[in-house]
Amino acid sequence: MSTAPKLRARHQCIVLSATWLSRCHTLTATEVLACTLAASYSIRGANSIFCTT
């Protein structure tokens, strides 16, 4: 199996992670904490879909 699709999928995860985290920076400190927690769960879910190794 080629590694190219897996690398492409991992790149999608990085982009997704960056998108989630960038949303957190315009919020208050409490909202950032909540957003970061939510993002970490969402990223973990995305990783299980897109970044399975």
Check residue 53 and give its pLDDT.
Answer: 46
The angle at the Cα of 40, spanning 14 to 43, to the nearest 5 degrees, equals 40
Check residue 49 and give its pLDDT.
Answer: 58
Give the largest CA-CA distance in the chain.
45
Task: Domain ranges for the chain, please list them.
Answer: 4-50
7-40 pLDDT per residue, tens: 676 666 667 666 666 666 666 778 777 777 776 7
pTM: 0.37
Check residue 28 and give its pLDDT.
Answer: 76
Consecutive H or E run containing 7: helix 4-24
